[in-house]
Amino acid sequence: MLLRRKIMIGLILCIFMFSSSVPILLKIGLIPQQTFGGEGISVLTQADADTPLDLMLVSELRKQDFVEVVSPEIYAFSVINNEPVMVRGVESKPFLKIEDAECKEEINDKFALIGEGLAKRFNLGINDTFVLTGSITPVIMELAVTGIYSTTTPSNDELLIPLQTARKLISLGDNNVLAIRIETSDRNELIDFLESGEYKIVVGDAAGNSISLNDNGFEEAVSSLGIRYTVFGKVEVANGSYTSVIVQKSAANVRVVIFGFILLEGALMFIGIAAILNRAVIEKKRDIGVLTAIGANKANIHFLLLKDLLKISIVSSIIGVIFGYIGVEIVKHLNLIVILGHSIQPVISPIFILEILVVTILLSCLCGLIVNESVLGSEPHQLMQEIDSSAENEISLEKMLEGFYEN
């Protein structure tokens, strides 16, 4: 074997970093759209402060044949046990239906439902009490857990409270809500209905795309508000529904940033693998030069190097992906990453593992081809020249000592 097995350690480390970080980054990119939207869900938010969303629109929507589920919601961020928590004011039945969630306990009008993931994080059970503080206004309330629900969406890490209670947390007017999530059989018909009713409203989808209806100044309003959020770093606007609007508008931008990080990870892995293989081949330059000098075909040497590289790449990729899977499971079970109050729960499917293996093996082979071409393009006498700096230093030191003793 021309290439030494010790380079496997470096390759395994590079592949481990890539295979463990990519699933986490992909899950982070999905958090905003899954939290404020959902697959196949249309999200309504108000376009300006003069036309807030209210429960009258909810009643009108529920009368339409093309509307299957309507969930009015209020978003608030609070703290429990010094940890950030996403608090959502909802009507329990439509919310649980739209999230495909299940709650075994009976739900009353003064409910405080906690997601299964959040219950495990804070070790809370039925009838356990906790203190909740207001997001904007100085409000403190003590609540008791009345039920625990489970779902596969990020809302599994949320606290659900009645709309009226949520209004107190963010000082929202009576009958007003921040967003209305709708499950509909015909999105176009929904938009036509809202346009015909002359509602000043914004319709968003799971991809983070927003359409402003009957309001031409929406883009300017969002841009202006975005600057205020950036400059002052806090919510200063009485119209709290813009929080959900900005999240919807930024969902696509988040995906772009995540995609950029994944490309950066891939580039770093490529550079790391190339550096490791380059060092390994350089250590064998003298042997390659000898083989070339005695008449060995460069194509055969090239084949031997690639064969060794392929074996090492496959073994390193398998081991690296296994360690990456273990790392992701540790992050998931220990809840090491929490964003917007949601614990990141990345999932590595068998297909994803196969894709990572293919990508890492191809990158390793590509790096090997580049390194091999650069080395085998040299003449035999150049390959056989090997400068040992340490040996030179030993000779120089020996001569200095000899001169010292002679004197």
| 110 & 195 share domain | yes
| 310 & 267 share domain | yes
Segments in the chain below pLDDT 70: 1-5, 48-50, 135, 206-209, 215-253, 284-293, 295-296, 298, 372, 374-407
267 falls within a domain: yes
Among 215, 250, 285, give the residue marking a domain's end.
Answer: 250
| 238 & 271 share domain | no
Report which of 216, 215, 109, 201 is spatially closest to residue 163, judged by C-alpha positions.
109
| 127 & 232 share domain | yes
Query: How high is the pLDDT of residue 196?
Result: 85
| 312 & 193 share domain | no
Query: How high is the pLDDT of residue 239?
Result: 44
Domain that holds residue 87: 38-250
Among 189, 223, 250, give the residue marking a domain's end.
Answer: 250
| 198 & 224 share domain | yes
196 falls within a domain: yes
| 107 & 66 share domain | yes
Residues near 340 by beta carbon (within 8 Å), at least 6 away in sequence: 31, 32, 35, 77, 84, 86
- Give 141-145's long-range contacts (Cβ < 8 A, gap of 24+): 141/165, 141/168, 143/112, 144/112, 145/112, 145/113, 145/114, 145/119
400 falls within a domain: no
Strand partners, 211: 203
Residues near 83 by beta carbon (within 8 Å), at least 6 away in sequence: 121, 122, 338
340 falls within a domain: yes
399 falls within a domain: no
Tokens 């009258």 appear where? 56
Report which of 37, 97, 103 is spatially closest to residue 68, judged by C-alpha positions.
97
Spatial separation of the C-alpha atoms in residues 1 and 134, rounded to whole Å: 67
Number of domains in the chain: 2
360 falls within a domain: yes
| 49 & 145 share domain | yes
| 183 & 292 share domain | no
Among 192, 226, 250, give the residue marking a domain's end.
Answer: 250
Burial of 395 (0-12, 13-18, 19+ CB in 10 A): exposed
| 210 & 291 share domain | no
β-pairing, 67-80 vs 83-90, is: antiparallel
Tokens 């480390």 appear where? 13
Residues near 9 by beta carbon (within 8 Å), at least 6 away in sequence: none
Q: Name the maximum alpha-carbon separation found in the chain.
A: 108
Query: How high is the pLDDT of residue 390?
Result: 38
pLDDT tens for 203-235 read 877 666 677 777 655 454 444 444 333 333 333
| 224 & 235 share domain | yes
Tokens of residue 236, six digits:
């200063």
Query: How high is the pLDDT of residue 53?
Result: 84
405 falls within a domain: no
Strand partners, 88: 75, 160
| 52 & 153 share domain | yes
Query: How high is the pLDDT of residue 150?
Result: 95
Strand partners, 230: none
| CB 239, CB 176: distance < 8 Å | no
Tokens of residue 1, six digits:
């074997």
Spatial separation of the C-alpha atoms in residues 99 and 160, rounded to whole Å: 12
401 falls within a domain: no
Secondary structure in 3-state letters for the chain? CCCCCCHHHHHHHHHHHHHHHHHHHHHHHHHHHHHHCCCCEEEEEECCCCCCEEHHHHHHHHCCCCEEEEEEEEEEEEEECCEEEEEEEECHHHHHHHCCCEECCCCCCCCCEEEHHHHHHHCCCCCCEEEEECCCCCCEEEEECCEEEECCCHHHHEEEEEHHHHHHHHCCCCCEECEEEEEECCHHHHHHHHHHCCCCEEEECCCCCEEEECCCCHHHHHHHHHHHHHHHCCCCCCCCCHHHHHHHHHHHHHHHHHHHHHHHHHHHHHHHHHHHHHHHHHHCHHHHHHHHHCCCCHHHHHHHHHHHHHHHHHHHHHHHHHHHHHHHHHHHHHCCCEECCEECCCCCCHHHHHHHHHHHHHHHHHHHHHHHHHHHCCCHHHHHCCCCHHHHHHHHHHHHHHHHHHC
Tokens of residue 38, six digits:
């959902």
- Amino acid residing at 186: D
